Amino acid sequence: MATAFYQNFKLGILGGGQLGRMMIQSAIDFNIDIGVLDPDAQAPCKHLATYFQVGSLTDFDTVYQFGKNYDVVTIEIENVNTEALKQLQSEGVKVFPEPEVIALIQDKRAQKLFYQQHHIPTAPFILTEKQADLYQHLSFLPAVHKLGREGYDGRGVQKIRTEEEIKNGFDQPGLLEKLIDFDKEISVIVARNEQGETKTFPVVELVFHPEKNLVEYLFAPAQISAETENKAEAIAREVIQKLGMTGLLAVEMFVTKSGEVLVNEVAPRTHNSGHHTIEANVTSQFEQHIRAILNMPLGSTTTKVPAAMVNLLGEEGFTGLARYEGLEKALALEGVKIHLYGKKMTKPFRKMGHVTIIDQNSERLKEKVKQVKSSLKVIA
């Protein structure tokens, strides 16, 4: 039986941002007490966690002392002290995802080598130690230079198309990856519990703005062929099984113009590309994560209704106390659901919330995305 239903069971989360906040919403239904550690005294989980502790996620002693109080420890961000987690594990605390898996994924170089060793399809790459190394690989261009560690939300990624652009490369250990002229970017969220039961969510598609090169919204289920869908789901399953990981894993992939599916990167936690599952699937990604790490049977991932998800980012030019302009107009549309993360202050591009839109008709869905995007703004 899942020990989570014994009296006094406690789950600890490293990180108290929006992902932790949505995890708590699911944990409440399982009647599970949650403790959260986050460096920010105003973190989104502050008022929702049963216990909230302010402290560094990367400091050995802080993570170790926090973790000692819990039966199971999990994460909502990868940048945590994995040595402390290994120590906790050796003392009997369950840590999911496993510390070794978090450590592997923290390093994009190790991650790529893992795909190579396990014959998981991924873009060709070369490891680099410093910026000057890039000059030795001119014939490998156009490429993408990626920082080995601590890149996040695209900050550790630079396109290097020509010799002139090498000056934008990183002067720290990284990897140079072939630029993929992809047809689509997709994501598959897969879960695995301690017994090895594995389930994938239907494929999600990242829809890019036709002119600006940025993700406009996410669409689920992806509009791709059954063949591509099967390939993507099989790859996601393979990755989590080969990692031997317990918990939830988001697998970001490219679909090339010739129909190949390549793994870009993974995140061993709940993910932005799974937010729509709260409304659109029988089980949400947050519930699935809890089921997986507490060794419960995994829930059905069946899609109930097509959905789109729009991130609510802080508008450019506004910094300060957040205000949500156009909220009522957006909410008046049928099938529009708002999620605000409880962040007091906005700044340009800060993730302040998201909007999920559900509609049985995919054309109407896309129309509503446009309406929401044009009316709803986070300003100060």
Ligand X SMILES: Nc1ncnc2c1ncn2[C@@H]1O[C@H](COP(=O)(O)OP(=O)(O)OP(=O)(O)O)[C@@H](O)[C@H]1O
CB of 161 vs ligand X, minimal distance in Å: 11
Q: Which residues pair with 198 in a beta bridge?
A: 192
Which residue in the shown chain puts its C-beta closest to Mg ion?
252
Q: Residue 177 binds which one of ligand X, Mg ion, none, with CB within 5 to 8 A depending on kind?
A: ligand X
The C-alpha atoms of residue 38 and residue 36 are separated, in whole angstroms, by 7
- Which of the ranges 154-162, 167-175, 223-231, 364-372 carries the binding residues for ligand X, by CB under 6 A? 154-162
Among 73, 144, 224, 245, binds ligand X (CB under 6 A): 144
State the DSSP string of 307-363.
EEEEEEEBPTT--EE-EEETHHHHHTSTTEEEEE---SEE-TT-EEEEEEEE-SSHH
Cβ closest to ligand X, residue 185 vs residue 238: 185
Per CB under 6 A, does 177 bind ligand X? yes
Cβ closest to Mg ion, residue 177 vs residue 252: 252
- Which of the ranges 92-100, 126-134, 143-151, 194-202 carries the binding residues for ligand X, by CB under 6 A? 143-151
Three-class SS state of 230: helix
Round the CA-based radius of gyration of the chain to a whole number and report it: 21
CB of 228 vs ligand X, minimal distance in Å: 18
The C-alpha atoms of residue 91 and residue 13 are separated, in whole angstroms, by 18
Contact code string over 245-284 relative to ligand X, x by CB under 6 A: -------x-----------xx-------------------
25-64 residues near ligand X, rule: CB under 6 A? none
- Residues 6+ positions from 90 with CB-CB distance below 8 Å: none
Query: 249-261 in b/e burial notation, b at 16+ Cβ within 10 A?
Result: bbbbbbbeeeeeb
Contact 2, 294 (CB under 8 A): yes
Three-class SS state of 90: helix
Per CB under 6 A, does 78 bind ligand X? no
Q: Residue 103 binds which one of Mg ion, ligand X, none, with CB within 5 to 8 A depending on kind?
A: none
CB of 250 vs ligand X, minimal distance in Å: 9
178-197 residues near ligand X, rule: CB under 6 A? 178-180, 185
Contact 91, 133 (CB under 8 A): no
Per CB under 6 A, does 157 bind ligand X? yes
Per CB under 6 A, does 160 bind ligand X? no
- Which of the ranges 27-35, 116-124, 246-254, 284-292 carries the binding residues for Mg ion, by CB under 5 A? 246-254
Per CB under 6 A, does 152 bind ligand X? yes
Q: Which of 359, 380, 353 is nearest to 21 (CA)?
A: 353
Which residue in the shown chain puts its C-beta closest to ligand X?
180
- Which of the ranges 47-55, 85-93, 247-255, 358-366 carries the binding residues for Mg ion, by CB under 5 A? 247-255
CB of 118 vs ligand X, minimal distance in Å: 19
Number of residues near ligand X (by CB under 6 A): 17
Q: Quick one: three-class SS letters along 149-218?
A: ECCCCCCCEEEECCHHHHHHCCCCCEEEEECCCEEEEEEEEEEECCCCCEEECCCEEEEECCCCCCEEEE
Residues binding Mg ion (CB under 5 A): 252
Binding interface with ligand X (CB under 6 A): 123, 144, 146, 151-154, 156-157, 177-180, 185, 252, 264-265
